[in-house]
Structure 1
């Protein structure tokens, strides 16, 4: 099978990581794929903040959970209140993905970059998880400044990266009734 298709079909969100840090060369290769994602009008609006400092990762986790506790959506508030929940699942590396607010389609462009990151990581047998909860930490604008995220950017996503503790689970059944053909 084609390696790209194999990576797409095998990739799963990983929520169990070894504490061992991924190699710098692996991280650089993964990041390189992000900037090759398609963007509306070739805006390339993204900015990637790479964090491997465990104290800072813990601070972002706790800050996001504090903000989550205040959410009106019950399951988010409840998850934020869980002392055992870690939004990054113990990953040794996290990425914060932000995009320029004035770009044509920054949210979609950043999502395409994240998909490239996830697929590149899988192709290297590195676990990853797309983390929407990371943006809650940045409700406090001081946190954006603290992490040197450009002022003109909005934080959209986080990504956790690390070596997998166990193999990917089998893919859940996919709904195949989603195509309409006109030939």
Structure 2
């Protein structure tokens, strides 16, 4: 099978990581894949903040969980109330993906940033590194102070959209592929 298609089919959201930090060479390759994502009008509106400072990762997790516990959605509240829950599943690296805001030419930076995230997820999988796209951190981003956002290295004029947990997969990470939704394709010829 084609290696790209095989990587796509093998990639899973990993929620168990080894504590050791990933190698800088691997991290560089993963980030390079994100930079090479397609973007509308070649705007490349993304910024990647790589966080490996455990205290900062834990603070983001704690503040996100506090917001989850206040959610009007029961499943979100229950998830936030789980004993020992960590938003990033104790991954040693977190990548915060931000998009440039404002300007007439910028169409949908969130779509461009999502394409960059997908590249990052697939590049990591191709290197045997686990990832999990984290949407819950949006709860932290909307309530964070300007100083907290600056501590994440987010430049002025950028808005954080998502985070990615990154790390070596724990040996007990094995997840089977969920069934694919049927009737998801329509051909008009």
Report the TM range for the smaller structure's normalisation.
over 0.9
Aligned partner of 2:124 among 121, 137, 153: 121
Could you tell me which residue of structure 2 aligns to residue 55 of structure 1? 55
Contact 1:43 1:104 in 2 (8 A): no
Q: What value does the CA root-mean-square deviation take over the aligned residues?
A: 1.4
How far does the alpha carbon of each residue in 1:90-132 deviate from its partner, in whole angstroms, 9 at most, with x for none?
A: 1011100110122211111111010000000000000000000
- Segments of structure 2 that go 5 or more residues without pairing to the other structure are none
1:161 match: 166
Moved more, 25-34 or 74-83: 74-83
Distance 1:145 1:94 in 2: 16
TM-score, length basis structure 1:
0.94
**Residue pairs, 1:70-109, within 5 angstroms:** 70-102=70-102, 103-109=106-112
CA displacement at 1:71 relative to structure 2 = 2.4
> Alpha-carbon deviation of 1:70?
2.5
Q: State the shift of 1:75 in Å.
A: 2.1
**8 A contact 1:100–1:154 mirrored in 2:** yes
Asked if the contact 1:21–1:92 (Cα under 8 Å) also holds between the matched residues in 2, the reply is yes
Equivalent residue for 1:145, pick from 128, 144, 150:
150
Count of equivalent residues: 183
Paired with 1:169 and 1:82, the residues of 2 have a C-alpha distance of 21
**Match of 1:87, SS?**
coil
Partners of 1:79 and 1:168 in 2: how far apart?
21
Q: How has the CA–CA distance of structure 1 residues 6 and 168 changed in structure 2, closer, same or farther, with 3 Å as cutoff? A: farther
Q: Which runs of 4+ in 1 moved over 6 A?
A: none
2:176 to 163, 166, 170: 170
Ranges in structure 1 where 5+ consecutive residues have no aligned partner = none
Question: Is the Cα–Cα contact under 8 Å of residues 11 and 168 in structure 1 kept in the other structure?
Answer: no
Partner of 1:17: 17
Q: TM-score of the superposition, structure 2-length normalised?
A: 0.91
Aligned to 2:8, the other structure's residue is in SS state helix
Structure 2 CA distance, aligned partners of 1:26 and 1:159? 15
